Amino acid sequence: METGADKMATPQLGSPALTVCFSALLAVSTAIAAGLYCLAVQALSELGLGAASYTAALLLPILIGVGAALATIGPANRRFRKLRQAFQTIIDGDLSVRLPEKNTGIFRVAYSDFNRMAQELEKVRAMREEYVNTFTHEFKTPLTAIRGFAELLQEPGFTEEEQKKYLHIIASETCQLAELANDALLLTKLETQNLPVVREKFWLDEQISHDLTMLEGSLREKNQNLTAEIEPVELYGSKELLSHVWTNLIGNAIKYTPNGGQISVSLKREGSEAVFTVTDNGIGMSEEVKAHIFDRYYQADPTHTRKGIGLGLPIVHKILELCGGKIDVESRSGDGSTFRVHLPVNL
């Protein structure tokens, strides 16, 4: 079994230490070959073999060098061929391939990096498949409802009140479909940098107060209590994109806080930064969930009992990245969450 000292002592493929080792090996090999040549010439000359001694003296170190090279290059070539085959397996779509790292000499780090890459690709594929399944589920559910109530409305005998009720459901499900499509499109544009970031001066407190007003209906539905401490803060940034940040963070607090729960929102300026905080006493998050909440395809609730496809927080993270901001999360399972956004005011 390789120890830490063994790993440190073995120069790895592509490292400067390996270049130094090969250069030293070449110099030593050349010196040994020259010495062997001189010894062979002297020995064969003493035997009186004449000109043949020089030929034999020349061939001897060459043959020894070729043998030593084959003994060194052979294993290295086999390991390199194994690495190429593993890459081809990845290209063919099999992400489960792994390479043995033990006793691989200069290829140990390369093999380790390959295994880590394959593992990450496998995780991304699993998350993407989960995302597709979730997106299909979330997209199919409102479509089924819309179709069912549309067909129902074609039948006679419904009162005007019943018709309004069914039309309201159709309109609500249509809004959900539009929200799903818009979120997926927005994140794609953000990730491909196909969305221009238009910056302007505006009052951030006014924007957040407006977004809170837009979410009052959701608060009333769950009988939640929201307290807000919003200080005047002027900001130079993307007014359009930042609105997605506040609605997503506050909307998540409403979604994951039970009926009658408490939510607090604050905005203040600290030096050259605007600091926005939203805190709730909702279900909170485990360390595992917290580590992945900004991953594009991650779903903390595999049962899909809550609406959404896990795009809100990745959108938030990407917008803040484009705007030069950052976000911190504090949360414990069953003990609520706090999201804190830091944005440069850039005035």
Mean pLDDT, range 249-253, rounded to an integer: 94
Greater confidence (57 vs 325) lies with 325
Choose which CATH entry (3.40.120.10, 3.90.1150.10, 3.30.565.10, 3.40.50.150) describes domain 200-344. Answer: 3.30.565.10
Which class would CATH give 126-191? mainly alpha
Mean pLDDT, range 21-43, rounded to an integer: 62
Q: Assess contact for 239 and 200: CB atoms under 8 A.
A: yes
Q: Please give the pLDDT value at position 163.
A: 86
Q: Please give the pLDDT value at position 5.
A: 43
Sheet-wide strand order for 273-280: 225-230, 262-270, 273-280, 337-344, 326-331
SS (H, E, C) 175-189: HHHHHHHHHHHHHHH
Q: Please give the pLDDT value at position 64.
A: 63
Beta-ladder partners of 266:
229, 277
| Domain ranges for the chain | 4-94, 126-191, 200-344
Task: Tell me the pLDDT band of 198, cut-offs 50, 70 and 90.
Answer: confident
Q: 132: closest CA among 184, 76, 55?
A: 184
- 29-38, 121-130, 324-333: the lowest-pLDDT one: 29-38
| Span 8-27, pLDDT tens digits | 455 555 556 545 555 565 66
Rounded to the nearest 10 degrees, what angle do helices 108-153 and 51-91 cross at? 20
Q: Please give the pLDDT value at position 3.
A: 46
Task: Tell me the pLDDT band of 55, cut-offs 50, 70 and 90.
Answer: low
The number of helix segments (H) and strand segments (E) in the chain equals 10, 7
Q: How many CA atoms lie within 13 A of 144 on its CB side?
A: 6
Could you tell me the two tokens for 180? 């799903």
pLDDT of 68 above 50? yes
pLDDT of 35 above 60? yes
Mean pLDDT, range 122-128, rounded to an integer: 80
CB atoms within 10 A of CB 266: 16
